[in-house]
Amino acid sequence: MLYRLLGKPLFFRMDPEKAHHLVIDGLHIAGRIPGGVSLLRGMYGVKETPELAMDLFGLHFPSPVGLAAGLDKNADAVPGFSAIGFGFMEVGTVTPVGQPGNEQPRLFRLPPDEALINRMGFNNQGAEAMAGRLQALGARPIPIAVNIGKNKVTPNEQAFQDYEKCISALYPYADFFVVNISSPNTPDLRKLQHGSELASLLAAVVRQMESEAKRHGRAKAVLVKIAPDVSDDELEFMIDTIQSSGVSGLIATNTTLSRGGINHEHAKETGGLSGRPLAARSTEIISRVYRQTGGHLPIIGSGGIFTAEDAYEKIRAGASLVEIYTAMIYEGPEINRKLHRGLQELLRRDGFKHISEAIGASHR
């Protein structure tokens, strides 16, 4: 209620990217001042409940709802985001070397559609800067995933080296990793999802993960984030390649280039569309992945989640966890309590004692 009455009207009068930085800076400050995290937890935190807590990838998730990559690109506000009800969060996308990203303006709101278009271009301060921040955190209350990408100037044939560098620099400080080869805002990045490029890239990633596991004495999960803008044949190939590569799971999906049904003036802007218009397609891909893999490859569902029903639909389609991004912009931090309560009610309605029983239920 506080966000809808005060925060959202203020932020929506501002340039979207300036509003974004104001939120990150505010959460960063709250995470550093005495009592700041406790205040955030008291206002927006979610109490862990047995029926929604999940154990996956050797990690404990106090809630199945996480924060998608893109909001905290440099791991500036991890304590703040950790206090407002998320069960996990992604930081990044981070690249080996810091880069400014694409020219501004590069972030656009489409309020009638409850959507965003971004063409940020992996703007971030680089892997070493993120490593320093995560190291300084020490213990953290929720799992932190590091979303990794390649620098814009790195040609695709050398992209594997960028992913290896990110893993090497950040392995001690990430709880798990996400390989981003599906952003539409880095030239030719999505070509890495197809053909022999995908297989060779994932082989390099898995080798690097295994090498770091031996060095640090602990194996960690690595997932692949895929795009929604693929044909049925492309998707089938991607799923087969990902499953056979030895990675731990995938995230479905990244933003879309589609503008179907969007009439807002910003629909003409280039970049990836997120929010409600993505919901049906991302759920469709989750369902396809679950069926093709027999439910043996864990999925994190992402795209268009605004309500508990949205999240539950993705879980029933086959997602083990879900994550939000655009809904945070439109609904504010209160959304996590709404999702938590709603998921509990939906489990009771369907006679499930634990969220894991609902995973893939639509296929049974």
Q: Are 272 and 183 in contact (CB under 8 A)?
A: yes
pLDDT tens figures, 53-106 = 999 999 999 999 999 999 999 999 999 999 999 999 999 999 999 999 999 999
Catalytic residue positions, numbered: 183
pLDDT of amino acid 138 = 81
Query: From the centroid of its chain, how far is CA 270?
Result: 21
pLDDT of amino acid 6 = 82
pLDDT of amino acid 225 = 98
pLDDT of amino acid 291 = 98
Can you tell me the distance from the alpha carbon of 97 to that of 346, in angstroms, rounded to the nearest whole number? 44
| Residue 194 binned pLDDT confidence (cut-offs 50, 70, 90) | confident
Sign of CA dihedral 68, 74, 77, 82: positive
Q: In this structure, what token pair is assigned to residue 161?
A: 């080296």
Q: Are 180 and 159 in contact (CB under 8 A)?
A: no
pLDDT tens figures, 218-272 = 999 999 999 999 999 999 999 999 999 999 999 999 999 999 989 999 999 999 9
Is pLDDT of 1 > 70? no
Q: What number of other Cβ atoms are within 10 A of residue 217's Cβ?
A: 6
Mean pLDDT estimate for the chain = 96
Closest CA to 360 of 292, 307, 276, 258: 292
pLDDT of amino acid 5 = 78
The 8-class DSSP code of residue 204 comes to H
Q: Are 162 and 151 in contact (CB under 8 A)?
A: yes
Kindly report which listed range (58-62, 176-180, 194-198, 276-280) carries the lowest average pLDDT score: 194-198
pLDDT of amino acid 15 = 96
pLDDT of amino acid 26 = 93
pLDDT of amino acid 217 = 97
The 8-class DSSP code of residue 256 comes to B
Q: In this structure, what token pair is assigned to residue 337?
A: 């309590």
Give mean pLDDT, residues 163-185. Answer: 97
Question: In Å, what is the CA distance from 222 to each residue of 147, 250, 299, 343?
Answer: 10, 8, 12, 27
| Residue 290 binned pLDDT confidence (cut-offs 50, 70, 90) | very high
pTM: 0.97
Closest CA to 83 of 46, 128, 28, 130: 46
Can you tell me the distance from the alpha carbon of 270 to that of 107, in angstroms, rounded to the nearest whole number? 10
Q: In this structure, what token pair is assigned to residue 351?
A: 């006679």
pLDDT of amino acid 149 = 98
Closest CA to 182 of 131, 124, 140, 122: 122
Is pLDDT of 110 > 70? yes
Give mean pLDDT, residues 28-49. Answer: 94
Name residues whose C-beta falls within 8 Å of residue 70's C-beta, 6 or more positions apart in sequence: 90, 93, 118, 120, 325
| Residue 109 binned pLDDT confidence (cut-offs 50, 70, 90) | very high
Give CA angle at 317 (313, 318), nearest 5°. 125
Q: Count of alpha carbons within 13 Å of 196, Cβ hemisphere only? A: 1
pLDDT of amino acid 3 = 82
Kindly report which listed range (181-190, 236-245, 302-311) carries the lowest average pLDDT score: 181-190
Question: In Å, what is the CA distance from 123 to each residue of 25, 159, 221, 229, 277?
Answer: 16, 17, 25, 23, 25
Name residues whose C-beta falls within 8 Å of residue 13's C-beta, 6 or more positions apart in sequence: none
pLDDT tens figures, 332-358 = 999 999 999 999 999 999 999 999 999
Residue with tokens 């996956």: 56
**Percent of the chain's residues with pLDDT above 70:** 100
